[in-house]
Homo-oligomer: A and B are copies of this chain.
Amino acid sequence: MQILVAKSKERELILGVDLGGTKIATVVATAQGEILSRGYSPTLAQAGPDAVISSIFTTIEETVAQDKVELSQLLGIGIAAAGIIDGDNGKVVFSPNLPGWNEVPLRDAVEQRFGVPAYLGNDANLAALGEWCFGVEKKVANLIYITVSTGIGGGIIADGKLYTGACGTAGEVGHMTIDVNGPRCNCGNIGCWESLASGTALAREAVKQINQGAYTSIIEFVNGDVSRIDAKIVSLAARQGDKLAKELISHLGYYFGVGLANLVNIFNPELILIGGGLAKMGDLLLEPAINVVKERAFKTPLNSVEIKPALLGDDSGVLGAVALVLEHFGK
């Protein structure tokens, strides 16, 4: 503990923020990714950018106060945010789950408030970085992180470096078409991976089956209100043995595997890590998905890839934000 305090005095602590559509999570962590304190608040996205930024400030202040950390001990503040992020200019360009966020200079707002260097990146990209820096036991050069919840996002580590593309939007793997004649996606496109293999897709298919008269206990979990069916409910029903729920998740796994096979062929990575809410389904989702990858991916890249649940759980993004700060300081 003595060593830690000594380190802290040398600005070796980092504050990480994960801004999502429903919650703001913060941590104070060491350069080794050890979490010293945590903060949390609901995003209340409907209140708009100014109110959300206020909440971020308060959550940061509480997290810092909790562990009696002084701002002068912080090397920097890293922010992982959902949406299209312009990291170079520190702006949230657009975010489907944060209404009113258009070209919002979040990085500068945080930097000015706390007088500490701040850095901004896309949450799925940074989750990949977080897993790569603090999650994996054995370093690999090429890693794909996939988050599957209401949507599907991704982050790419290529040749030992976070790959973000020409303007920071790389990794939007959820919006690769896998069924050109498939359902309409939230992005407006047709047949995106996300439209077939996300939580939204699972809920939609469950409602469709129920409306067509399928026999299932899913409906009991929501007291007959189909509008309340989501991926969590279907997962719950499946765990209690509901046949339709299990079939729906297995079918979701099929589509999930089709997209994973694409990524194996395109990237030939050593590791694909699956995070996000649906990853909590475990083998119920991953087993059928991996079976499809075995059928569909080329043999050589298949033999060199491991596909498994993300290692940091819900902390991938916030620890990725920590890693982003370290990267900027060349650590």
Give the contacting residue for A189; candidates B161, B268, B296; CB below 8 A: B296
Whole-angstrom distance between the Cβ of A286 and the nearest chain B Cβ: 19
Copies of this protein chain in the complex = 2
Give the contacting residue for A158; candidates B158, B258, B269; CB below 8 A: B158
- The B-contacting residues of A in range 55-107, CB under 8 angstroms, are 84, 93-94
Given A189-B296, A266-B172, A300-B93: A166 and B141 interface contact (C-beta under 8 Å): yes
Q: Which residue of B lies closest to A261 (CB)?
A: B177
Among A173, A265, A270, A303, the one with the most B-chain Cβ atoms within 10 Å of its Cβ is A265
Whether a CB of chain B sits under 8 angstroms from the CB of A301 is yes
Among A167, A180, A300, A304, the one with the most B-chain Cβ atoms within 10 Å of its Cβ is A180
A141 to B164 CA separation, bound complex (whole angstroms): 11
Once the chains bind, are A142 and B158 in contact (CB under 8 Å)? no
A264-306, CB under 8 A of B: which get 1 and which 0? 0111111000000000000000000000000010101101110
A39 to B181 CA separation, bound complex (whole angstroms): 46
Once the chains bind, are B301 and A166 in contact (CB under 8 Å)? yes
Whether a CB of chain B sits under 8 angstroms from the CB of A49 is no
Contacts of A304 in B (CB 8 A): 166-167
Whether a CB of chain B sits under 8 angstroms from the CB of A247 is no
Whether a CB of chain B sits under 8 angstroms from the CB of A37 is no
Give the contacting residue for A84; candidates B182, B196, B300; CB below 8 A: B300
Whether a CB of chain B sits under 8 angstroms from the CB of A255 is yes
A169 to B142 CA separation, bound complex (whole angstroms): 12
A314 to B140 CA separation, bound complex (whole angstroms): 35
Given A180-B255, A261-B177: A269 and B165 interface contact (C-beta under 8 Å): yes
Contacts of A175 in B (CB 8 A): 265, 298
Whether a CB of chain B sits under 8 angstroms from the CB of A320 is no
Q: Which residue of B lies closest to A190 (CB)?
A: B296
Whether a CB of chain B sits under 8 angstroms from the CB of A179 is yes
Whole-angstrom distance between the Cβ of A161 and the nearest chain B Cβ: 6
Whole-angstrom distance between the Cβ of A51 and the nearest chain B Cβ: 25
Once the chains bind, are B300 and A268 in contact (CB under 8 Å)? no
Contacts of A270 in B (CB 8 A): 166
Once the chains bind, are B181 and A181 in contact (CB under 8 Å)? yes
Once the chains bind, are B177 and A268 in contact (CB under 8 Å)? no
Whether a CB of chain B sits under 8 angstroms from the CB of A1 is no
Contacts of A182 in B (CB 8 A): 180
Contacts of A261 in B (CB 8 A): 177
Give the contacting residue for A169; candidates B177, B178, B268; CB below 8 A: B268
Whether a CB of chain B sits under 8 angstroms from the CB of A3 is no
Whole-angstrom distance between the Cβ of A250 and the nearest chain B Cβ: 15
A187 to B172 CA separation, bound complex (whole angstroms): 26
Query: Known pairs A159-B161, A167-B303. 7 more at Cβ < 8 A?
Result: A164-B268, A170-B267, A172-B268, A175-B265, A176-B265, A179-B180, A179-B181
10 A-B pairs with the lowest CB-CB distances in the bound complex, closest first = A165-B268, A176-B262, A170-B268, A172-B265, A166-B304, A169-B268, A166-B270, A179-B180, A175-B265, A169-B301
The 9 listed contacts between A and B (C-beta, < 8 Å) are A84-B298, A140-B166, A142-B166, A159-B159, A167-B303, A169-B301, A172-B301, A177-B262, A181-B181
